[in-house]
Amino acid sequence: MAFLHASASKVTSLKEKKSLLPYLLLAPGMIWLFTFFILPIVNLAQTSTQTPVKGGDTGQYEQTLRFSNYVDAFVNNQEQFTRSFFYAFLATVLALAIAYPLAYGIAFKSGRFKNILLVLVVAPFFTSFLLRTIAWKQILGEEGPVIAVLRGLNIISQQTTLTASAFAVVTGLTYNFLPFMTLPLYVSLERIDPRTLEAAGDLYANAFTTFRKVTLPLSMPGVVAGTLLTFIPAAGDYINAAILGNPNTRMIGNVIESRFFKIVDYPTAAALSFTLMAAILILVTIYIRKAGTEELV
């Protein structure tokens, strides 16, 4: 072992000497990210405090430091903010409940079909995300099979509809981000050495205790990564709400989109975007601290 350590450190020390190489490797990609990600965010911060030009056309703004844009944006859209985070939370919990057994089954119970099943989890991705969301709209819609069965069995009344509802939006969000939840869960479950589970059994833990005390804690990195990969895009999404929702299920993404394109109100759109980004980053940071997993990606 000592020998291996020595030679490993020799390799790293070799690379440390040529200190310019890593920067050359990093530079092109980092410049790209800086120019087209960081600078736009800075620019967004500037835009968010702009004021309309007096007597100017729609869409003309001048640079000021009007921080009350944030207060206005938040107060006027508090409902959509709360709804976005609530829907994203529901979708994350549902996706976790669906994906965990799925990932568990693929990792431990599928033998030689493991790789094929894993491919099948990702496969729906390749049929366009919009086509699948629109498919849900029609499956749950008035002419679709689901509503006919539910009405036939008198589970729902003849007037109740499934589409254009919060139910449909959350279904769509859960569905669309399910592979993002399943893959990290699978990766962390697959890493578990089956012998640790056997050891738990040898120490008289029953199946449930083994799961609670061994499997679940060991799969926590996957749970954290999966919930983040589901929650973040779900909170900012507007496609599901646009296709499967109604005016009362609008999410913050819908507001940003319409402020930008329909109302040409850039400062409000910018203030909303910035608030959304900050809220998500704060939530994510708290969550990672609580979950105790620093190594995320």
Residue numbers 14-43 binding another protein by CB under 8 A: 15-16, 19, 21-23, 25-26, 28-30, 32-34, 36-41, 43
Contact assessment for residue 267 and residue 69, using Cβ atoms and an 8 Å cutoff: yes
Largest CA distance in the chain: 80
Contact assessment for residue 222 and residue 187, using Cβ atoms and an 8 Å cutoff: yes
Please list the helix, strand and coil fractions of the chain in percent, rounded to the nearest 5, in that order. 75, 0, 20
Output the CA torsion sign for 297, 284, 255, 64. negative
Is 56 a binding residue for another protein by CB under 8 A? The answer is no
* Subset of 195-214 contacting another protein (CB under 8 A): none
Q: Which is nearer to another protein, 166 or 242 (CB)?
A: 242
Contact assessment for residue 186 and residue 103, using Cβ atoms and an 8 Å cutoff: yes
Among 91, 106, 162, 170, binds another protein (CB under 8 A): 106
Is 162 a binding residue for another protein by CB under 8 A? The answer is no
Among 233, 258, 291, 293, binds another protein (CB under 8 A): 233
Give me the phi and psi of 51, to 5 degrees please: -125, 145
Among 86, 104, 211, 287, binds another protein (CB under 8 A): 104
* Subset of 78-97 contacting another protein (CB under 8 A): none
Reduced to 3 states (helix: H, G, I; strand: E, B; else coil), residue 219 is coil
Of the candidate spans 74-82, 125-133, 147-155, 195-203, the one that interacts with another protein by CB under 8 A turns out to be: 125-133
Number of residues that bind another protein (CB under 8 A): 90
Residue 203 CB, nearest approach to another protein (Å): 22
Of the candidate spans 73-81, 101-109, 150-158, 193-201, the one that interacts with another protein by CB under 8 A turns out to be: 101-109
Residue 271 CB, nearest approach to another protein (Å): 11
- 214 contacts: CB under 8 Å, gap ≥ 6: 192, 196, 197, 200, 205
Is 291 a binding residue for another protein by CB under 8 A? The answer is no
Among 147, 168, 224, 232, binds another protein (CB under 8 A): 232
Among 65, 76, 82, 125, binds another protein (CB under 8 A): 125
CA gap 211, 234 in Å, rounded: 29
Q: Which is nearer to another protein, 20 or 157 (CB)?
A: 20
DSSP secondary-structure letter at 52? E
DSSP secondary-structure letter at 123? G
